[in-house]
């Protein structure tokens, strides 16, 4: 039996033009594609390739399935939206390997990067990540809410630009409201905020506002929320949406 492998592929935020050549080449040679239903559905059918689409919250099951197929000699593409190493399937695969057998640990696994939602949003907005920043997931499915509060507090007190992933869902409508209540107690109300939804896709929507005026209810699971540091600012442009950027030199706006 020929040796199989796992290719953990980042599909980017949506448009085909944001899929890297490396990722395209991996998808072309994969015998099997495993991933969350909306991501697998983005890929065209290929002769001889089997798709294994599953619902949300079964990441470890997907990873285990990929390992089993690879050990049968299959070339398995495990797909994620954005970058697979950012709150996505790369960690799930290695978690399964860590808890698995010697055969799992011997599996040929390659992680292929993709454009993250944070990068896509930043590019659309201007340059909000021009200085120190952090990314925090507001999902409390795999970590306690008090840990999220502690990390949000530390990020605000450290004056980082904050990119919020997984801000809200139908099952979790409240966390984004609680996060904004906390951040409003720690940061100036004039702090720039952007809600970047489905960047690069036909239903893209970008809302620019401030921490004091923001309506957290506009966020859903397709939204990347960007909250500025004390240095982040808008550049107004006549007749156009303003740019959002953070200067490279801390204290430049003081």
- Nearest 5°: phi and psi at 97? -65, -45
pLDDT for position 94 = 98
Domains and CATH numbers, the chain: 5-115 (3.40.1010.10), 118-245 (3.30.950.10)
**Residue 14: pLDDT over 90:** no
Please answer whether residues 22 and 11 qualify as being in contact, where contact means their C-beta atoms are separated by less than 8 angstroms. Answer: no
Percent of the chain with pLDDT over 70: 98
pLDDT for position 3 = 78
Average pLDDT, the chain: 95
pLDDT for position 2 = 63
Q: How many CB atoms lie within 10 A of CB 167?
A: 26
Convert the pLDDT of each residue in 145-177 to its tens digit. Answer: 999 999 999 999 999 999 999 999 888 999 999
Confidence tier at 15 by pLDDT (50, 70, 90): confident
Please answer whether residues 211 and 189 qualify as being in contact, where contact means their C-beta atoms are separated by less than 8 angstroms. Answer: yes
Confidence tier at 252 by pLDDT (50, 70, 90): low
pLDDT for position 1 = 54
pLDDT for position 170 = 87
**Please, which residues have CB within 8 angstroms of residue 245's CB and are 6 or more apart in sequence?**
126, 127, 128, 130, 232, 233, 235
Please answer whether residues 40 and 58 qualify as being in contact, where contact means their C-beta atoms are separated by less than 8 angstroms. Answer: no
pLDDT for position 163 = 98
Convert the pLDDT of each residue in 89-141 to its tens digit. Answer: 999 999 999 999 999 999 999 999 999 999 999 999 999 999 999 999 999 99
pLDDT for position 56 = 83
Q: At what angle do helices 89-98 and 59-70 cross, to 10 degrees?
A: 70
Confidence tier at 225 by pLDDT (50, 70, 90): very high
| 36-43 contact pairs (CB < 8 A, 24+) | 36/79, 36/80, 36/81, 38/81, 39/11, 39/79, 39/80, 39/81, 40/79, 42/11, 42/14, 43/11, 43/79
Please answer whether residues 35 and 92 qualify as being in contact, where contact means their C-beta atoms are separated by less than 8 angstroms. Answer: no
pLDDT for position 57 = 83
Confidence tier at 197 by pLDDT (50, 70, 90): very high
For range 14-32, the mean pLDDT: 94
* CA distance linking residue 72 with residue 114, whole number of Å: 27
Is the whole-model pTM more than 0.95? no
């Amino acid at each position: 039996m020929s040796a199989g492998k796992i290719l953990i592929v980042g599909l980017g935020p949506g448009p085909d033009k944001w899929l890297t050549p490396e990722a395209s080449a991996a998808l072309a040679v994969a015998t099997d594609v495993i991933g969350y239903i909306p991501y697998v559905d983005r890929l065209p059918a290929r002769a001889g390739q089997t798709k294994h689409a599953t619902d949300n919250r079964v990441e470890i099951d997907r990873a285990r399935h990929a390992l089993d197929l690879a050990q049968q000699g299959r070339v398995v593409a495990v797909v994620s939206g954005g970058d697979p190493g950012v709150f996505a399937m790369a960690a799930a695969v290695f978690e399964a390997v860590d808890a698995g057998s010697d055969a799992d640990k011997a599996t040929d696994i390659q992680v292929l990067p993709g454009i993250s939602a944070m990068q896509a949003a930043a590019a659309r907005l201007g340059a909000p990540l021009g200085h120190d920043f952090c990314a925090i997931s507001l999902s409390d499915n795999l970590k306690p809410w008090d840990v999220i509060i502690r990390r949000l507090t530390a990020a605000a007190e450290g004056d980082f630009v904050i990119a919020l992933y997984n801000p809200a869902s139908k099952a979790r409508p409240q966390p984004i409201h609680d996060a904004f209540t906390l951040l409003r107690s720690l940061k100036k109300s004039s702090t720039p905020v952007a809600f970047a939804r489905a960047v690069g896709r036909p239903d893209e929507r970008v809302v620019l506002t401030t921490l004091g005026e923001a309506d957290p209810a506009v966020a859903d699971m397709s939204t990347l929320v960007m909250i500025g540091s004390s240095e982040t600012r808008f550049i107004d442009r006549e007749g156009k949406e303003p740019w959002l950027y953070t200067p490279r030199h801390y204290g430049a706006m003081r």
